Copies of this chain bind each other. A is one copy, B any other.
Amino acid sequence: MMSPVIFIFSLLLFSCHAAVQDFCVADLTAPESPAGYACKKPAKVTVADFVYSGLGVAGNTSNIIKAAVTPAFAMQFPGVNGLGISLVRLDLAPGGVVPFHTHPGGSEVLLVIQGAITAAFVSSANNVYLKTLKKGDIMVFPQGLLHFQVNAGGTPAIAYASFSSASPGLQILDYVLFANNLPTPLVAATTFLDIAQIKKLKGVLGGTG
């Protein structure tokens, strides 16, 4: 009978060679490609790259929207790079709101862990899909569509959102309109909002122009 050592050596050698594309833990210091971050060398990867504890801590909701969004995208959680998945924790104090926003690069499934949340998205055909979710409910928001979440009860709500991308992006409508240097007349012309309304919210959100 042949030696097991030979078997072990030859197959291990082979599988070592093949292993590098099982995963691609993000090396945040190297140049990105259209497919995501460059890969950390496999030899330096440890289990710590695949585990993240940052979503176990409540976000700080002491702000104007009474809400906190804590991401575990590839930038925060390098282990998901290239795998087409990521998570976010959402804390909503009573009265808390995640204002209208989109994720340009991925679809989302929201899971309510505590409390109740009213959520909606609007389709290209301008249909509103609106629902109040209770603990344990999940709701899907298809890629790129405007949607929001608001606390639907008098108690703090917690939810986790999963995305079909390791870096789905986040574009908050109010920020697009009122928190940058886009000139007020252009905002007015492209939204039909009144100048006074625009100036008021630019004041609140720090926009100029």
Residue A155 CB within 8 A of the other chain: no
Interface size bucket, A side? 35 or more
A30-61 interface bits toward B, Cβ cutoff 8 Å, 1 = contact, 0 = none: 11111111110010001100111101110010
* CB-defined contacts of A15 to chain B, threshold 8 Å: 124-126, 170-172, 175
Known: A83-B140, A124-B170, A125-B42. A2 touches B103 (CB 8 A): no
* CB-defined contacts of A53 to chain B, threshold 8 Å: 134, 136-138
A contacts, CB < 8 Å to B: 1-8, 10-12, 14-24, 27, 30-39, 42, 46-47, 50-53, 55-57, 60, 62-66, 68-69, 71-77, 79-87, 97-100, 102-109, 111, 113, 118, 120-131, 133-146, 148, 150, 160, 162-165, 167-182, 186, 189-194, 197, 200-201, 204-206
Additional A-B contact list (17), CB under 8 Å, known A83-B140, A144-B171, A193-B197:
A7-B64, A18-B124, A19-B124, A20-B75, A21-B167, A21-B168, A22-B104, A22-B105, A22-B142, A50-B131, A53-B136, A83-B142, A97-B190, A104-B124, A164-B164, A173-B173, A192-B204
